[in-house]
Amino acid sequence: MPNAMPRLPHPSFRDRVKRDPALRSPGERMAERKPVAAPEFRAKKERGERIVVVTAYDAPSAYYADQAGVDALLVGDSLAMVVLGYETTLPVTLDEMLHHVRAVVRARPKALVIADLPFLSYQVSPEEALRSAGRMLKDGGAGAVKVEGGAAIAPTVERLVDAGIPVMGHLGMTPQSVHRFGGWRVQPRQADAARALLADARALEAAGAFSLVLEMIPAEVARRVTAGLKIPTIGIGAGPECDGQVQVFHDLLGLCWTLAPKHAKRYADAGRVIRQALEEYAADVRAGTFPAEENTFHQRDLEDPDSWTG
């Protein structure tokens, strides 16, 4: 008796790849990834998904972080310290930040690019803040900005948000206030300061911030702030119960020549790898073994210098 069952076409490898995400190459998965926009942060909190943020300061760091699938790239003013060699974040200018934002955007990441507004580019007045933030989006191509400060900065946050600019807040050990704190210190340690931080967080949420960085604050305080907000908290030295984490690229990869902070975990020793590679290069040059034949260009008809020198 003939088989009455219709024969299903055998799925080609290409079809299987389309259906089974596990079989796709990282490049294919990246190409299919949707660009991340600021509202996705809150949606992730609602779905209980942790948010991954890392700093990036140039096209290669943006490219590799994006390939790793992070949700957002923060062009942090930490670049003053880890890229430009300053001791604090205060000296970096808006134009310098913009230069790095553009480089990150040129890597065409799918991750949200958040541009840090540097010291004194937004504190003087909401109008000046709007001009500075506007440049980050209009000239830089960023998708959001970040500002430091609590309730005092809330009217500025509101002004930016009203103009259509997504704003990330930043509380706790805010590096632009390092001189007021007298150094890099965990904030807050006392109950009244913890209460004030919670009020600041609520003020930023009410002003329209889409998320909040909590830097170097006790995990107990971060947990309470996180539970009390609808917008996600992104911790750096604020314990495991924030809605996401942010880390400095150079700290994660062992590229800092100074001591890495306690809150950072080193996932690679790229500094050692780079130094070893450059030592080998130097040794090859000194020994005359670099460049080798495969690194050399030839033009055989110019071999005899008498044929082309006078």
* Most distant CA pair in the chain, distance: 93
- Given the residues 40, 148, 158, 215, select the one marked as catalytic: 215
Structure tokens at 264: 């950072």
The least distance separating ligand KIV from the CB of residue 32, rounded to whole angstroms, comes to 29
d(CA 219, CA 231): 18
Strand partners, 114: 74, 144
Asked if 204 is part of the footprint of ligand KIV (rule: CB under 6 A), the reply reads: no
Strand partners, 52: 245
Q: Which stretch binds ligand KIV (CB under 6 A): 16-24, 69-77, 95-103, 158-166?
A: 69-77
> Which is nearer to ligand KIV, 40 or 251 (by Cβ)?
251
Asked if 97 is part of the footprint of ligand KIV (rule: CB under 6 A), the reply reads: no
* Residue 206: closest CA among 144, 270, 161, 149: 161
Which member of 56, 147, 246, 253 binds ligand KIV (CB under 6 A)? 246
Is there a catalytic annotation at residue 96?
no
The least distance separating ligand KIV from the CB of residue 242, rounded to whole angstroms, comes to 12
The least distance separating ligand KIV from the CB of residue 244, rounded to whole angstroms, comes to 11
CA angle 172, 137, 54 (to 5 degrees): 45
Helices 154-162 and 191-207 cross at an angle (nearest 10°) of 20
Task: Look at the block and give the residue holding tokens 């790239």.
Answer: 73
Asked if 36 is part of the footprint of ligand KIV (rule: CB under 6 A), the reply reads: no
> Which is nearer to ligand KIV, 77 or 200 (by Cβ)?
77
Asked if 55 is part of the footprint of ligand KIV (rule: CB under 6 A), the reply reads: yes
**Encoded amino acid at 17, one letter:** V
> Which is nearer to ligand KIV, 159 or 247 (by Cβ)?
247
Residue 281 CB burial class (10 angstroms; 0-12, 13-18, ≥19): exposed
**Residues making contact with ligand KIV (CB under 6 A):** 55, 74, 76-78, 116, 213, 215, 236, 246, 248
Catalytic residues: 215
